[in-house]
């Protein structure tokens, strides 16, 4: 079990979809070719599949890989007849990733959990097999609100430090992970493109904003670097301003495409 909640993944999916860089997405689709095989790692309930499948030929074959049995079961429940292979496994066991015959590995909201050491091993493995990578929506450390609060910067700093703790792959590269990934891929001779894919959330994304804020507050509280009163004040201010039509929240992400 990973602790990623399917309701959280469902809330973010439409915002993820509209935030992806369209150019990189189209390049990734082209790289799959007519009947390529795609391995989606850290698939959750299948968000990347739902985003890409309609753009690909029906002959494209998918393997969805995750270690969370509940999320995989949900993916299976949603796509019982799509000819998808569902595979439960731990990405840390990189040698067992089924890369043979794979045209491209896809991932979304995954690499910001990963350590530089894991990224090294992963890039080494896809280089061995000459497989491309389309890794979308890696959090890059930016959180900005159109309606500012004096504690925004401090909260962002503490949250970003929390993102640099161990998320199951050794000490995470957190907001810098996308850069580490792009550098390692380039060093291995891949043709690498990156593009920003920020979430821009307005009042229509109120539920996602609320859940996002609650996750941020929980991480910041755990770090215990800001006073509880100050954090409570910040949370109340942020929640109150969500509904204001003029208010928006920008959360930075980066997409990375690497072709062999
Ligand atoms: C933030 S979620 C993203 C899910 C999905 N890609 C999406 O965009 O909705 C990260 C996913 O990575 C999976 N994951 C985390 N660590 C993993 C590991 N060591 N092995 C396999 N999957 C892992 C989690 O179970 C979760 O589904």
pLDDT in tens, 224-241: 999 999 999 999 999 999
Q: Which of 50, 110, 111, 219 maximizes ligand 1 atoms within 8 Å of its Cβ, making it the mutation to test the pocket?
A: 110
Q: Give the chain's domains with CATH numbers.
A: 6-259 (3.40.50.150)
pLDDT category of residue 73 using cuts at 50, 70 and 90: very high
Q: Which of 9, 11, 12, 44 maximizes ligand 1 atoms within 8 Å of its Cβ, making it the mutation to test the pocket?
A: 44
In tens, the pLDDT along 53-70 reads: 999 998 999 999 999 999
Distance of CA 124 from the midpoint of ligand 1 (Å):
20
φ, ψ for residue 36, nearest 5 deg? -70, 165
Joined together, the tokens standing for residue 52 give 């890409």
pLDDT category of residue 243 using cuts at 50, 70 and 90: confident
Ligand 1 atom with the shortest distance to the CA of 91: 20
In tens, the pLDDT along 103-162 reads: 999 999 999 999 999 999 999 999 999 999 999 999 999 999 999 999 999 999 999 999
Ligand 1 atom with the shortest distance to the CA of 44: 27
Distance of CA 65 from the midpoint of ligand 1 (Å):
9
Distance of CA 27 from the midpoint of ligand 1 (Å):
23
Distance of CA 231 from the midpoint of ligand 1 (Å):
29
Question: Can you tell me the mean pLDDT for 178-202?
Answer: 98
238-246 — which CB contacts under 8 Å span 24+ positions? 238/145, 238/149, 238/213, 239/210, 239/213, 241/145, 241/147, 242/203, 242/206, 242/209, 242/210, 242/213, 243/203, 243/206, 244/147, 244/203, 245/202, 245/203, 246/146, 246/147
Residue nearest to atom 4 of ligand 1 (CA): 44
- Percent of all residues in the chain with a pLDDT value above 70, rounded to a whole number: 99
Question: Can you tell me the mean pLDDT for 188-210?
Answer: 96
- Percent of all residues in the chain with a pLDDT value above 90, rounded to a whole number: 95
Ligand 1 atom with the shortest distance to the CA of 43: 6
Residue 1 has pLDDT above 50, yes or no: no
């Amino acid at each position: 079990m990973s602790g990623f909640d399917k309701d959280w993944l469902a809330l973010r999916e439409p915002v993820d979809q509209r935030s992806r860089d369209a150019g990189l997405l189209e390049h990734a689709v082209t790289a799959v070719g007519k009947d390529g095989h795609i391995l989606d790692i850290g698939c959750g309930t299948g968000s990347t599949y739902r985003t890409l499948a309609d753009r690909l030929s029906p002959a494209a074959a998918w393997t969805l890989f995750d270690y969370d049995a509940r999320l995989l079961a949900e993916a299976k429940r949603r796509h019982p007849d799509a000819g998808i292979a569902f595979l439960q496994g731990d990405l840390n066991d990189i040698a067992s990733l089924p890369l043979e015959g794979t045209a491209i590995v896809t991932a979304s909201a995954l690499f910001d959990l990963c350590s530089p050491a894991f990224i090294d091993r992963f890039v080494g493995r896809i280089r061995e097999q000459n497989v491309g990578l389309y890794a979308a929506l890696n959090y890059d450390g930016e959180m900005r609100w159109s309606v500012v609060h004096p504690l925004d910067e401090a909260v962002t700093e503490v949250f970003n430090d929390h993102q640099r703790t161990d998320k199951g792959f050794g000490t995470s590269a957190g907001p810098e992970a996308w850069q580490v990934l792009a550098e390692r891929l380039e060093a291995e001779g891949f043709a690498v493109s990156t593009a920003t894919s920020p979430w821009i959330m307005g009042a229509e994304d109120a539920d996602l904003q609320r859940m996002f804020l609650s996750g941020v507050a929980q991480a910041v509280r755990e770090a215990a670097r800001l006073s509880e009163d100050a954090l409570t004040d910040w949370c109340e201010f942020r929640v109150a301003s969500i509904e204001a039509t003029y208010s928006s929240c920008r959360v930075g992400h980066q997409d990375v495409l690497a072709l062999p």
